[in-house]
Chains A and B, each alone.
Chain A
Amino acid sequence: MAAVGKPFGAMSIAEIQAGLAAKEFTAAEVASATISRIERDDAQMHAFLELTADMAADAAAKVDAAIAAGTFAEAGPLAGVPVGFKDNMNLLDTHTTCSSNMLANYVSPYTATCVEYALHAGALPMGKLNMDEFAFGSSTETSAFGPTLNPWDFQRVPGGSSGGSAAAVAAGLVPVALGSDTGGSIRQPASFCGIVGVKPTYGVVSRYGVVAFGSSLDQVGPFARSVEDAALALNAISGFDERDCTSQRADVDFTANLAEGVQGMRIGVVPAFMEADGLTEEVRARVAEAAQKLEGLGATLVDIELPNAKAAMSAYYVLGPCEAFSNLARFDSVRYGYCDPGHADLGAQYEASRAKGFGPEARRRIMLGSYLLSAGVYDTYYYPAQQVRTLITQDYDRAFQQVDCILTPVSPRTAFKFGEIGDPTQMYLSDMFTISINIAGNGGMSVPVGLGADTQLPVGVQLISPAFKDVNMFRAAAALESVYGPAPVAPQFAKED
Chain B
Amino acid sequence: MKKLEEILRTWEPVIGLEIHAELTTLNTKMFCGCKLEFGAPPNTHTCPVCLGLPGALPVPNRAAIESIVLAGLATNCDIEKHSMFYRKNYMYPDMAKNFQTTQGPIAFCMRGHLDLDVDGANASERYGLADLKPGESTGNITRTEDGYVAHVGITRIHMEEDAGKMVHIGGGEGRIAGATHSLVDYNRAGTPLIELVTEPDLRTPEEARLFMQKLRQIYLALGISDCSMEEGSLRCDGNVSLRRRGTTELGTKTELKNMNSFKNLHDGLLYEICRQAQVLEEGGTIYQETRHWDPTAKRTIVMRVKESADDYRLFPEPDLAPYDLSDEFIESVRAKLPELPDDKAARFQEQFGLSAYDARHLVEHRSTAQFFEACMSDATHEAGDAAIKLAKPLANLAINDVAAWLNANPDVVLDESPLTPNRAVQLVQLVADGTISSKQGKEVFAAVLADDADPKAIVEDRGMQQVSDTGAIEAVVDAVLAENPDKVEQYQGGKIGLIGFFVGQCMKRMQGKGNPQIINELLASKLDA
A residues sitting closer than 8 Å to B (CB atoms) are: 88-90, 96, 98, 103, 106, 109-110, 112, 207-212, 214-216, 242-246, 322-323, 325-326, 329-332, 334-336, 346, 350, 370, 373-375, 378, 382
Measured between C-beta atoms, what is the minimum distance from B82 to chain A in Å?
15
State whether the Cβ of B315 lies closer than 8 Å to any Cβ in chain A.
Answer: yes
State whether the Cβ of B99 lies closer than 8 Å to any Cβ in chain A.
Answer: yes
Structural contact, A96 and B54, CB atoms closer than 8 A: yes
Structural contact, B319 and A103, CB atoms closer than 8 A: no
Structural contact, A378 and B55, CB atoms closer than 8 A: no
Q: In the complex, A243 Cα to B58 Cα: how many Å? A: 7
**Candidates A110, A332, A346; contact of B53 at CB < 8 Å:** A110
Measured between C-beta atoms, what is the minimum distance from B490 to chain A in Å?
87
How many contacts A-B (CB < 8 Å)? 93
State whether the Cβ of B59 lies closer than 8 Å to any Cβ in chain A.
Answer: yes
Structural contact, B57 and A329, CB atoms closer than 8 A: no
Structural contact, B315 and A326, CB atoms closer than 8 A: yes
Measured between C-beta atoms, what is the minimum distance from B217 to chain A in Å?
35
Q: Which of B391-421 contact A (CB under 8 A)?
A: none
Q: In the complex, A370 Cα to B318 Cα: how many Å? A: 16
Measured between C-beta atoms, what is the minimum distance from B250 to chain A in Å?
21
Q: In the complex, A325 Cα to B99 Cα: how many Å? A: 11
State whether the Cβ of B321 lies closer than 8 Å to any Cβ in chain A.
Answer: yes
Closest 8 CB pairs of A and B: A329-B98, A373-B313, A216-B318, A215-B318, A209-B55, A211-B54, A330-B52, A211-B55
Which B residue sits closest to A376, measured CB to CB? B311
Structural contact, B93 and A346, CB atoms closer than 8 A: yes
Q: Which of B60-76 contact A (CB under 8 A)?
A: 60
State whether the Cβ of B171 lies closer than 8 Å to any Cβ in chain A.
Answer: no
Structural contact, A245 and B91, CB atoms closer than 8 A: no
Q: In the complex, A108 Cα to B99 Cα: how many Å? A: 22
Measured between C-beta atoms, what is the minimum distance from B270 to chain A in Å?
35
Structural contact, A375 and B55, CB atoms closer than 8 A: no
**Candidates A106, A346, A375; contact of B54 at CB < 8 Å:** A106
Q: Write out the residue numbers on chain A whose beta carbons fall within 8 Å of the beta carbon of B311.
A: 374-375
**Candidates B59, B87, B184; contact of A242 at CB < 8 Å:** B59
Structural contact, B55 and A326, CB atoms closer than 8 A: no
Structural contact, A323 and B96, CB atoms closer than 8 A: no
Structural contact, A373 and B56, CB atoms closer than 8 A: no
Which A residue sits closest to B47, measured CB to CB? A110
Q: A90-B55, A109-B53, A246-B321 are in contact. Are A330 and B96 (CB under 8 A)?
A: yes
What are 19 A-B interface contacts by the 8 Å CB criterion?
A90-B55, A96-B54, A109-B53, A110-B53, A208-B57, A209-B56, A212-B54, A215-B318, A242-B59, A243-B57, A326-B89, A329-B89, A329-B99, A330-B96, A331-B54, A332-B91, A335-B51, A373-B89, A378-B313
Measured between C-beta atoms, what is the minimum distance from B123 to chain A in Å?
42
0 or 1 for each of B298-331: is its CB under 8 Å from A? (1 = yes): 0000000000010101110011110000000000
Which B residue sits closest to A354, measured CB to CB? B91
Q: In the complex, A375 Cα to B314 Cα: how many Å? A: 9
State whether the Cβ of B48 lies closer than 8 Å to any Cβ in chain A.
Answer: yes
Which A residue sits closest to B310, measured CB to CB? A375
Which A residue sits closest to B94, measured CB to CB? A334
Q: Write out the residue numbers on chain B whose beta carbons fall within 8 Å of the beta carbon of A346.
A: 93, 182
0 or 1 for each of B75-104: is its CB under 8 Å from A? (1 = yes): 000000000000101010100111100000
Structural contact, A326 and B319, CB atoms closer than 8 A: no
Q: Write out the residue numbers on chain B whose beta carbons fall within 8 Å of the beta carbon of A329.
A: 89, 91, 97-99
Which B residue sits closest to A382, measured CB to CB? B315
Q: In the complex, A378 Cα to B105 Cα: how many Å? A: 14
Structural contact, B54 and A90, CB atoms closer than 8 A: yes
Q: A96-B54, A208-B57, A211-B54 are in contact. Are A332 and B315 (CB under 8 A)?
A: no
Q: A110-B48, A373-B89, A373-B313 are in contact. Are A330 and B318 (CB under 8 A)?
A: no
B residues sitting closer than 8 Å to A (CB atoms) are: 48, 51-60, 87, 89, 91, 93, 96-99, 182, 184, 309, 311, 313-315, 318-321
Measured between C-beta atoms, what is the minimum distance from B225 to chain A in Å?
25
Q: In the complex, A325 Cα to B91 Cα: how many Å? A: 12
Measured between C-beta atoms, what is the minimum distance from A378 to chain B in Å?
7
**From B59, B99, B319, residue with most partner A Cβ within 10 Å:** B319
Q: In the complex, A323 Cα to B57 Cα: how many Å? A: 14
Q: In the complex, A374 Cα to B315 Cα: how many Å? A: 10
Extra A-B contacts (14), CB below 8 Å, given A208-B56, A245-B59, A330-B52: A109-B48, A207-B55, A208-B55, A209-B48, A212-B319, A244-B57, A245-B57, A329-B98, A332-B91, A334-B93, A335-B52, A346-B93, A374-B311, A375-B311
Q: Write out the residue numbers on chain A whose beta carbons fall within 8 Å of the beta carbon of B314.
A: 373
**Candidates B53, B54, B58, B98; contact of A98 at CB < 8 Å:** B54
Q: Write out the residue numbers on chain A whose beta carbons fall within 8 Å of the beta carbon of B91.
A: 329, 332, 350
**Candidates A242, A322, A331; contact of B315 at CB < 8 Å:** A322
Q: A242-B59, A246-B321 are in contact. Are A326 and B54 (CB under 8 A)?
A: no
Q: Write out the residue numbers on chain B whose beta carbons fall within 8 Å of the beta carbon of A216.
A: 318
Q: In the complex, A103 Cα to B53 Cα: how many Å? A: 11
Measured between C-beta atoms, what is the minimum distance from B172 to chain A in Å?
18
Q: Write out the residue numbers on chain B whose beta carbons fall within 8 Å of the beta carbon of A89.
A: 55
Structural contact, A245 and B321, CB atoms closer than 8 A: yes
Q: Write out the residue numbers on chain B whose beta carbons fall within 8 Å of the beta carbon of A211.
A: 54-55
Measured between C-beta atoms, what is the minimum distance from B180 to chain A in Å?
10
Q: In the complex, A326 Cα to B60 Cα: how many Å? A: 19
Measured between C-beta atoms, what is the minimum distance from A326 to chain B in Å?
5
Measured between C-beta atoms, what is the minimum distance from B112 to chain A in Å?
28
Q: In the complex, A244 Cα to B58 Cα: how many Å? A: 7
**From B52, B91, B313, residue with most partner A Cβ within 10 Å:** B313
Which A residue sits closest to B176, measured CB to CB? A346
Measured between C-beta atoms, what is the minimum distance from B529 to chain A in Å?
90
Q: Write out the residue numbers on chain A whose beta carbons fall within 8 Å of the beta carbon of B320.
A: 245
Which B residue sits closest to A242, measured CB to CB? B59
Which B residue sits closest to A210, measured CB to CB? B55
Structural contact, A326 and B96, CB atoms closer than 8 A: no
Which B residue sits closest to A111, measured CB to CB? B55
Q: Write out the residue numbers on chain A whose beta carbons fall within 8 Å of the beta carbon of B87.
A: 326
Q: In the complex, A130 Cα to B243 Cα: how many Å? A: 63
Q: Write out the residue numbers on chain B whose beta carbons fall within 8 Å of the beta carbon of A322.
A: 315
Structural contact, B54 and A103, CB atoms closer than 8 A: yes
Measured between C-beta atoms, what is the minimum distance from B101 to chain A in Å?
11
Q: In the complex, A235 Cα to B313 Cα: how many Å? A: 39
Measured between C-beta atoms, what is the minimum distance from B436 to chain A in Å?
65
Which A residue sits closest to B320, measured CB to CB? A245
Q: Write out the residue numbers on chain A whose beta carbons fall within 8 Å of the beta carbon of B182.
A: 346
Q: In the complex, A136 Cα to B315 Cα: how many Å? A: 21
Q: Write out the residue numbers on chain B whose beta carbons fall within 8 Å of the beta carbon of A382.
A: 315
Q: Write out the residue numbers on chain A whose beta carbons fall within 8 Å of the beta carbon of B97.
A: 329-330
Q: In the complex, A287 Cα to B349 Cα: how many Å? A: 83
**Candidates B53, B54, B93, B313; contact of A374 at CB < 8 Å:** B313
Q: Write out the residue numbers on chain B whose beta carbons fall within 8 Å of the beta carbon of A375.
A: 309, 311, 313
**From B56, B315, B320, residue with most partner A Cβ within 10 Å:** B315
Q: Write out the residue numbers on chain B whose beta carbons fall within 8 Å of the beta carbon of A334.
A: 93, 184
Q: In the complex, A215 Cα to B87 Cα: how many Å? A: 12
Q: A329-B97, A330-B97 are in contact. Are A323 and B55 (CB under 8 A)?
A: no
Structural contact, B54 and A332, CB atoms closer than 8 A: no
Which A residue sits closest to B60, measured CB to CB? A245
Q: In the complex, A110 Cα to B54 Cα: how many Å? A: 10
**Candidates B59, B96, B321; contact of A335 at CB < 8 Å:** B96
